[in-house]
Amino acid sequence: MLDFIVSENEFNKDNIPWNGNRFLIGNGYFGIRGTLEEYSKEHMCAVNMAGIYDRAGDAWRESVNAPNPLHTYIIVNGTKYALPETEPKSHTQTLDFKNGLHLRKTQWQTENGTITIECERFASMSRRHLIAMRYTFFADFECEAEIVTGIDGDVWDINGPHFVKIQTGTQGSVNSVIGTTGEKNISVTAKDCTSADFKAEQTTDEGEKTVYRHFSFKAEPGKEYTIEKIAQITTSEDDFDVAGEIDKLTYSMLRAEHITAWERIWDISKITIEGDDEAMYALNYSIYHLNCIAPREMKGKSIAARGLSGQVYKGAVFWDTEMFMIDYYIHTEPEIAKTLLQYRIDTINGARAKAAEYGLNGAYYAWESQEGGYEGCSDYNVTDVFTNRPMRTHFRDKQYHVSAAVVYGIMKYIRGTGDYSILGEGAMEVIVECAQMYRSLLLKYADKPYYEIHDVVGPDEYHERVNNNAYTNRMAKFVFDTALEMLDEFEAKYPEKIKALDDKYGLEATKAMLKDSAEGIFIREPDNNGIIEQFEGYFKLEDVSVDTVRSRLLDPKEYWGGAYGVAANTQVIKQADVAAMLSMFKDDYSADIMKKNFDYYEPRTEHGSSLSACMYSLLACFTGNTETAYPLFMKSAKADLVKGGKEWAGLVYIGGTHPASEGGAWIVAVNGFAGISEQDGKLVCRPSLPQNWKSMSFKLVYRGTVYKVNINGTKGEISY
C-alpha cells in the first residue's frame, strides 16, 4: 500500500488553523482537531462532539466541544517547552491516515542540550468513547523533567461559552472534568487515566476548569520516558454504552483493536489507482475523512457540513449529506447511510415546524439542521464588512431545495441498497410531506397554464429571491414524481400499513395532488443556444468574468451575494446550479446540452462552495470530457490538503474540513471516471479514466452484495 501519510516537517504557526483540519482524527462520535498536545483554545483546539448543541445567550446555536483530555506539555529544569511559544530545533507533524494515527515529534535546543518529545494518539475506531495517547520524552543531557498532562475544560468556542458549570474531580488514577451546557443542561464528561513506565513523583493539580497530573523525574541522558493515557468522553445524551473502565485498559491493546478496525474499513473503501499516485493519495485521504465522521453504530445521527472539525456552520447538518456524502456510505457501509437518513426521519417534526412557521404544509427541512431538526440558521447569517451589521440573508427561509435533497438521498439509498424497508419506517412520510411542502409553494398566474415557484434561493446562493430557479423547480418535480412512485411501492410492499397512511394523508387526494403538481410545474427547457437559464432574468444580468467581479471587491472578506454583493447583479455564480441539475438528471438531457451548459456556466462560476467543483467534474464526465473533469476532481479531492480554502463569508469564519467535497470526489471517481451506474437493477461499468490512470480497482456494495470493480484502460469488469 502506498504510504497514506500527511506530513509537515517544519513548524509554521500560520498553519495552525489549517493543520487543525488537515491532521484531524475522529471516530464519528467526536473529532479531534490536528492541534498539538500543548495547545489550548487560542489555537483552536477541539474535541468536537457529534450532535450535541448549545446556545449561549443570543449568539448562534452551535455544536459543543468537550473538555480536552489530551492537554500535555513538558517542563525541563523549570522551563516550559511548548509550541508555538518556543521555537523548535526540529518539528514533524504526521497523520497516518491508513491507521488513523496522529503523530508529532519536536525537538528543542536548551542551554544544556537537546530535548525531544514524541506523541502518538488516536480516536478509537473500536470503542467510540475512547481516545488514547502515548507521549515520550527524552533528553541528551541529565535534567529535571516534568510532564504535565490532564484535562482542559477551558475550551475553544465560536459562540460560547457553552459550559455554564464545570466540575473537576479525581478518583484514584482517574481524573475528570464535567462541563454542563446552559441551554439544555447537557453534561459532557472527559476522564483520563495516565500511567508512566518510569518512576516519577506524581501529583494532581485541580483548577476551576482543569485537572492535571504532574510526573516529575530526573531524566537520564538518552533514556526515553513514556506516559500512556486512556481518555474517555461521554455525554448525558449518549445512546450507547461505555466500554469498560479506562483504568483497566492498555494503550497497546486499544491501538491494536483500532488498527484492525481501520483495516476493515479500508478493505471495503480503498480505491487503488495505477498511474496517478497523487490522485490515489488525495482520493483515499478524502475517504479517510468520510470515515472519521461516519456515525457508525450510532442511532439517527447525521454529519455536519464541516464534519467534526469544529463549530463552523454551527456544527449543523446541511443538504451536503444527502447530496454529496451519502453515496459513499451507501456503497461501502449502507447501514451508515441508513443512520444518516434515520436522522431526517427522526427530525421530521422540526421540518414540520419550519414549514408551519412559513405558512407551508408538510416538511421543510432546515438549511442548518441541529438536533431534532431544529433550524440553526438565523435570518442574519452574514456580517457586513463595511458596517459590521448582521445582513438579512435568505439561506434560512428561501432554500426550499433542502427538502428535495432529503428525498433524493432516500431514493439513492433505496436504489443502491434495494432496501425499501425504510419506507415503512418513516421515509414514506418524509417523502409525502416534502411533496406537500413543494405543493404549497406552487403559484399560477391568473392567465398562465403552469405552476411556478417564486422567491427562492437555489444552490447558487449569490442570487437571492429568484423566480423559477431551474434546479429548484426540477427538484420539486422529482419529489412529486417520487412520492407518486413510492406510494405505489408502499402499497405493494406494505399493504398492512396502507390504511394508516391513508388515514393520515388521504391517499386518493394526495395522489391527485401529486399528479397535478408533477404535470403542472414549469420546467425550464434549453434556449435556442441550448442553455438552460438558471432563473427568470438571469440572462439579463451583467455578463462579466469572475475575475472582473473579484476585482470589484473593496474588502477581501466582503460577501459576494446578498442584495448588493459584487456577484449579485451579474451572471457570476457561487457554485453549480444548472450544472448540478444536469448531473442529477443526466438521463433527461443529451450530452450536447450538458456540454453547452458546462461551457456556459463553468467559466461564470466562482466555485466559492466546496460543493461546486465535483458537480462540474461529474457533468464533464457525463459528456465524455474526462480531461476537463480531472482538475475539478482533484480540486475536490484535495480540498483539505491544500492551504488557502475560502475561510470567510463576510466576517464569519467558515474554515474546517470539507466532507461534501470529499464525498463529491468519491462520486466523480466512481460514477464519473469508473462510469459505474445502475441499469435495470444491475451495476454497469462504462469507464472513462483520466489519461494517466492505467487501472483502477475498488469494492462496491450494491443491493447487499460486495462487488469488485477492476478497470484496465477502457475495460471495466464487475465481479463478486
| Active-site amino acid positions | 461
CB of residue 399 to a copy of itself, shortest distance in Å: 17
Q: Among residues 394 and 658, whose Cβ is nearest to a copy of itself?
A: 394
DSSP 125-160: SSSTTEEEEEEEEEESS-EEEEEEEEEE-S---SS-
Angle at CA of residue 600, ends 539 and 397, nearest 5°: 55
Q: What's the CA gap between 72 and 215, in Å, rounded?
A: 11
CB of residue 140 to a copy of itself, shortest distance in Å: 60
CB of residue 393 to a copy of itself, shortest distance in Å: 9
CB of residue 387 to a copy of itself, shortest distance in Å: 6
Q: What's the CA gap between 219 and 144, in Å, rounded?
A: 6
Beta bridge partners of 74: 81, 147
Please state the φ and ψ torsions of residue 674, each to the nearest 5 degrees: -75, -15
Enter the DSSP assignment of 198. S
| CB distance 471 to 401 below 8 Å | yes
Q: Is 10 left (phi over 0), alpha (psi -120 to 50) or beta?
A: beta
CB of residue 421 to a copy of itself, shortest distance in Å: 32
Please state the φ and ψ torsions of residue 276, each to the nearest 5 degrees: -150, 80
CB of residue 565 to a copy of itself, shortest distance in Å: 10
Q: Among residues 312 and 441, whose Cβ is nearest to a copy of itself?
A: 441
> Contact positions toward a copy of itself, by CB under 8 A?
379, 384, 386-387, 389, 391-392, 439-440, 442-447, 451, 454-455, 465, 513, 516-517, 520, 554, 562-564, 568-569
- The CB-based long-range contact list for 371-374 (8 Å cut-off, 24+ gap) reads 371/51, 371/52, 371/53, 371/347, 372/347, 373/344, 373/346, 373/347, 373/348, 373/349, 374/53, 374/61, 374/350
Neighbours of 389 (CB within 10 A): 11
Type of residue found at 415 = R
Beta bridge partners of 274: 695
Q: Among residues 564 and 720, whose Cβ is nearest to a copy of itself?
A: 564
CB of residue 137 to a copy of itself, shortest distance in Å: 55
Angle at CA of residue 441, ends 438 and 446, nearest 5°: 135
Q: What's the CA gap between 620 and 632, in Å, rounded?
A: 9
Q: What's the CA gap between 625 and 603, in Å, rounded?
A: 16
CB of residue 361 to a copy of itself, shortest distance in Å: 8
Q: Among residues 520 and 530, whose Cβ is nearest to a copy of itself?
A: 520
Residues 6+ apart with CB under 8 A from 527: 533, 539
Neighbours of 571 (CB within 10 A): 22
Q: What's the CA gap between 646 and 529, in Å, rounded?
A: 33
Enter the DSSP assignment of 586. G
CB of residue 575 to a copy of itself, shortest distance in Å: 21
| CB distance 657 to 24 below 8 Å | yes
Q: Among residues 444 and 694, whose Cβ is nearest to a copy of itself?
A: 444
CA 370 to chain centre: 14
Q: What's the CA gap between 527 and 542, in Å, rounded?
A: 18
Peptide bond into 161 cis (omega under 30): yes
Please state the φ and ψ torsions of residue 101, each to the nearest 5 degrees: -115, 135
| CB distance 248 to 232 below 8 Å | no
| CB distance 653 to 660 below 8 Å | no
Q: Among residues 568 and 593, whose Cβ is nearest to a copy of itself?
A: 568
Q: Among residues 532 and 566, whose Cβ is nearest to a copy of itself?
A: 566
CB of residue 370 to a copy of itself, shortest distance in Å: 22
Q: Among residues 170 and 440, whose Cβ is nearest to a copy of itself?
A: 440
Beta bridge partners of 236: none
CB of residue 520 to a copy of itself, shortest distance in Å: 8
Backbone CA torsion sign across 207, 210, 216, 222: negative
User: Among 325, 268, 405, 264, which Cα is nearest to 702's?
Assistant: 268
| CB distance 125 to 258 below 8 Å | yes
Residues 6+ apart with CB under 8 A from 287: 269, 270, 271, 328, 662, 666
CB of residue 564 to a copy of itself, shortest distance in Å: 6
Q: Among residues 411 and 435, whose Cβ is nearest to a copy of itself?
A: 435
Q: Among residues 3 and 379, whose Cβ is nearest to a copy of itself?
A: 379
Q: Among residues 320 and 460, whose Cβ is nearest to a copy of itself?
A: 460
Q: Among residues 650 and 664, whose Cβ is nearest to a copy of itself?
A: 650
